Chains A and B, each alone.
Chain A
């Protein structure tokens, strides 16, 4: 969505119907969308946070709860300087075979590290943030998980945030 998009308009309305057929009642329509913030500084001087629903987490941490019928409302901190071999995916609702060969296709941590090295991005927040997208309680998702991640992003003094669904 760009700053000129109509607030509340879905970019892929057909996708919504498809998902509602598969999981009736799972999709909600937001009428009170918050307008996108306009960047106040250049990317080259900004600290970037990355938030992903790919279910990526450091190896050895408690796996996301992928079996729970109503979903997992926790998130994991992923150190932004982590190497891909130190990370793993715990998610069973999207194709992971490609991501298991190269995590960057779904969680581009090394590409972001390179963009900092090349001076395209100013810096990365200490941590990135990841959760799983299989959540059947939109209110809990919005009022707990989203709020907790938002606070964590603010606490790490991010100037911009890259949001990536899986």
Chain B
């Protein structure tokens, strides 16, 4: 999808187009795979917290407070790919 296509969708509140684009991006062009990848990332985010280990909440708080929205949004995408890599099931080898 071109950037113009996405901007028009965002301006028109076409959330289905936007989320489909995200699924295509995260699923390397496959809508259903993208949906699964999103689920995988959330599962991997949950696992390390189940034993309630100490976490650096000060770092998290400062980051959210001091960084701009675009950097935080980019970090969200970075974290997605980081977490799916942690799952051991890495689909992004380009074999579409």
Contacts and interface: CB of A to CB of B under 8 A. Distances in A.
Are A and B a genuine interacting pair, yes or no? yes
Interface of A: 22-26, 28, 66-70, 91-97, 136-138, 140
A92 B95 CA distance: 9
Contact of B28 (A25, A70, A92): A92
A69 B2 contact: no
A68 B2 CA distance: 14
B95 A95 contact: yes
B66 interface: no
Nearest to A24: B1
A34 to B, nearest CB: 22
A134 to B, nearest CB: 9
Interface of B: 1-6, 21-22, 24-25, 28-29, 74, 77-78, 80-81, 92-96
Nearest to A95: B94
Contact of B77 (A22, A68, A92, A137): A68
- Helix, strand, loop or mixed for chain A's interface? loop
A136 B95 contact: no
B6 A136 contact: yes
Contacts of A95: 93-96
Given A22-B29, A69-B77, A96 B93 contact: yes
Given A68-B77, A69-B21, A93-B28, A138 B2 contact: yes
Contacts of B6: 70, 136
A67 B71 CA distance: 12
A23 B26 CA distance: 12
B94 A91 contact: yes
Contact of A25 (B1, B77, B78, B92): B1
Contacts of A97: 93-95
Contacts of A136: 1-3, 6
Given A67-B77, A93-B94, A23 B4 contact: no
Contacts of A91: 94
A69 B93 contact: no
A24 B28 contact: no
Give the 9 A-B CB pairs with smallest separation, nearest first. A25-B5, A92-B92, A95-B94, A137-B3, A94-B94, A67-B77, A25-B2, A22-B29, A25-B1
